Structures are given as structure tokens and as C-alpha cells.
Amino acid sequence: MVSGELYREMVDRARHFLKISDIDAGEDRFDISLFHLEQSMQLSLKAYLLREKGDFPRTHGLHDLIELSGNDCVKKLAEEKWYIIDILEDAYIGSRYLVRRYGRREYIEALRFVEEVIKCLNL
């Protein structure tokens, strides 16, 4: 897959994860909805790196991807809302290995954060 096709596929999947998170939240499955938000943000950052730098690392850490992006807008958001990144990364790990419970409040804050990040990335 050439990088243009891969970029479009990554952006499409990031949008899909964002949409699916809303469906899960509607069913009060906030653990899974936060996992989907984490996946949306991770793919968005990787798509941005692919577009801007021609490649992306195989890391899954949001903090690492934010730093590598060099995007000042995203970095500022991350500094202000660092705790949301921690929740998203915890949801990523917890959805596969642990039972974690989250509420609507965490979901709404994380959703707003991820949407702002996507805006900063101009995807």
C-alpha cells in the first residue's frame, strides 16, 4: 500500500473508531468507548506523522506520538489535559487485560479532547 492510500485508510479508521465510541457510550460501555477513543487518537497521530514525516513509529504510546508529532497545538492540549491521555492509555491496556470502569464524565471529556487533537492535526 502506498503512503497516500495508507494515510487515507488510517484517517478513515480513526474516524470510524471515533464514531463507534459514541455507539458504545450510548450503551453505557464507557470502558470500550474510551478504548475506541484511544485508538482514534493513536491512528490520527500516526496518520499525521505519515503525512508530515513520511513514516510513523510502531509505538502505541500517546505521549510518545504527541512528542514525535512536533505539533505545537497538540502539545499544548496535552500539557493542559495530561490526565485525559492517562485515562485513554489506561483504557487501552485495561480493555485487553483488566476490568476498568469509567463513567460518562470521563468519556465526554476524552471525546472533546480527541476531537480537539484531530482538529489540531487538520485531518
pLDDT of residue 2: 56
CB of 42 within 8 A of CB of 49?
Answer: no
CB of 13 within 8 A of CB of 43?
Answer: yes
Contacts for 54 with CB less than 8 Å, ≥ 6 apart: 3
* pTM given for the model: 0.92
What is the C-alpha to C-alpha distance for residues 17 and 86, in angstroms, rounded to an integer? 19
Q: Which domains does the chain have, with CATH numbers?
A: 2-121 (1.20.120.330)
Nearest to 35 by CA among 82, 77, 106, 92: 92
39-70 pLDDT per residue, tens: 999 999 999 999 999 999 888 899 999 999 99
